[in-house]
Amino acid sequence: MIKLNPAASRGDWPLILVTALSLSIGWGIRGNFGHEYGAMIPGALAAMAAVLLSGREDWRRRVAYFAFFGALGWSFGGSMSYGQVIAYTHSGHSASVLYGFGSLFVIGFLWGAMGGAGTALPALLDRERLTEFFAPLTAVFMAWWLQDRAESWLVAVNPQFRHESPLYWNDTDWLGALTAIAAVLALALIRRRLDRASSLILHCAIGWWAGFLLLVELLGWRMTPPRSDNWAGCIGMTLGLWVYLQRHGLSGVTLASLVTGFFGGFGFSAATMLKLVEVTSGWQTNWHSVLEQTYGFINGVGVAVAMLCLASRAPRISEEPLARRWTEVYAVGFVLLGVTYLNLSKNPEEWIKAKAFPEMLYSLSAETWFGLAYLLLAAAVLALLIRHQRRPLALLPATWLGKGQLLYVVFLWWMVLGNFDRAQVAFVPQRLVTEGTIHFNAVLCTVLLLFFARPAPLNLLPAAANLGTLLKKTLVIGLAGMTLSVLADWGIVRAIYGDQSAGHGGQHIRFGPNATATKEKPKAGQAHP
């Protein structure tokens, strides 16, 4: 699909392997925490791995930014529902099986396309344009926090019965997209200008609305009713993103988005097919986690390929003038403290369920104590980071490579240990394979990342390495690969199971007289599917 730098191709395997394993580890952990917050973990890890092994010193200087934008890019896909789609591939109903694999390709593509764009963005933008994002993004984060507080106060409902909320609309994040638009416009009004970063956010949020209204409300296409239709919003968001990138001369980011997207589509559908092959062994384990880690590995290869392509073609970037130095602390704090807290704060609930921890301690809930402990840790970490900006701490490495490696290793093991801490209170033998694989791969990534870091930058290819031609080739090959891979997945599963259900999940059929899919809103008093 993409011609890499021939001079460096023989040394590319550590970057490809570590990036793939990083996304696999993160995706396996994401499966335990879920949704948008969980998806930040693989996004940050894969971005850092690719950058640190790229040989690009100018990229290593930005490793915290890559982690930050990589986490955000991958997070948006977490809004999409896919459990029922996977169940279609298990159904034994031929049309539903084919539909399931096709839908998984679309979902995997969207996840990878947004994640790949976020990962690649710091590779193409100068410091002024890159750091310009932090003010509007902070406005959106604050608006979402206020939205969440307001919803909890005004229309609080049990998440299992969320369809009873007056804000329910096909189980989508329509209010979040609207809030993002309002936050960016409010900031522009206050500042009396609309910067390029705010424009990108508007392209994505307005695109979300366009995709949802056109595909779901106008055309009536519901991928997995009555589950969430956020997939349609994500299609619109991705198209809005591409429009912005092409308007602003960021074809390299578009290319990365396409490459990672097609790898993601292939990975999600192929990993599901492989799981259905593997379960025929009769072995009892956490097969869903096996699927997730397999998918993560395949899409991680896509991230590596995309970043390798850019590593040899993207012009060198300068940090001069050193604008908005505070954003470096912001990015590190977001990854080390924000991403970890948003996920690990779910652990006390599991401890209490397993009766490994009391619900109340000295009149305060376990969740409150956890929050207070994290707040103390956050204050210490931020104080040290700020101090390091003024006068370097002896503990921290002097080189950008060393700083990036430390950030990766600390974040990796913070999440690996936090994930095990969540699982161990209710550990069963079946989890030994999946959690053990995560641990093994984390050890392997740590060793490889430190051992194979390129000491010198790559030789850049001529700027005339025509990204327009690469975009066209990627699109053609990707679409052809999509058709062939979906048909192959369907054929293999049909050859093994025929009309027999594969089990390992609920029976869901999309079409025909026995269809379980319904476009009707769940009834009041019944739990949401």
Measured CA to CA in angstroms, residue 221 lies from 170, 225, 479, 529 at distances of 12, 9, 21, 19
How would you label 320-330 residue by residue, b for 16+ Cβ within 10 Å and e otherwise? eeeeeeebbbb
3-state secondary structure of 437: helix
Query: Do you find a cis peptide bond into 14, omega within 30 degrees of 0?
Result: no
Measured CA to CA in angstroms, residue 222 lies from 176, 206, 242, 509 at distances of 20, 20, 24, 14
Angle in degrees, CA 27, 31, 34, rounded to 5: 110
Residues 367 and 418: their CA atoms lie apart, in Å, by 15
Digit-by-digit pLDDT tens for the chain (529 residues) are: 455 554 445 568 999 999 999 999 999 999 888 889 999 999 999 999 999 999 899 999 999 999 999 999 999 988 898 889 999 999 999 999 999 999 999 999 999 999 999 999 999 999 999 999 999 999 999 999 999 999 888 887 888 888 888 898 999 999 999 999 999 999 999 999 999 999 999 999 999 999 999 999 999 999 988 889 999 999 999 999 999 999 999 999 999 999 999 999 999 999 999 999 999 988 888 888 899 999 999 999 999 999 999 998 888 888 888 889 999 999 999 999 999 999 999 999 999 998 888 999 999 999 999 999 999 999 999 999 999 988 999 999 989 999 999 999 999 999 999 999 988 888 888 788 888 999 999 999 999 999 988 665 556 655 445 777 888 999 999 999 999 999 999 999 999 999 999 887 778 888 888 888 887 888 888 888 7
Q: Where are the domains of the chain?
A: 126-249
- Alpha helix (H) ranges present in 325-365? 326-333, 340-344, 347-353
Query: Do you find a cis peptide bond into 122, omega within 30 degrees of 0?
Result: no
Residues 196 and 329: their CA atoms lie apart, in Å, by 22
Question: Whole-prediction pTM value?
Answer: 0.93
DSSP states of 1-27 as a string? -----TTTGGG-HHHHHHHHHHHHHHH
Other residues' Cβ atoms within 10 Å of the Cβ of residue 77: 27
Helix %, strand %, coil % of the chain (to 5): 70, 0, 30
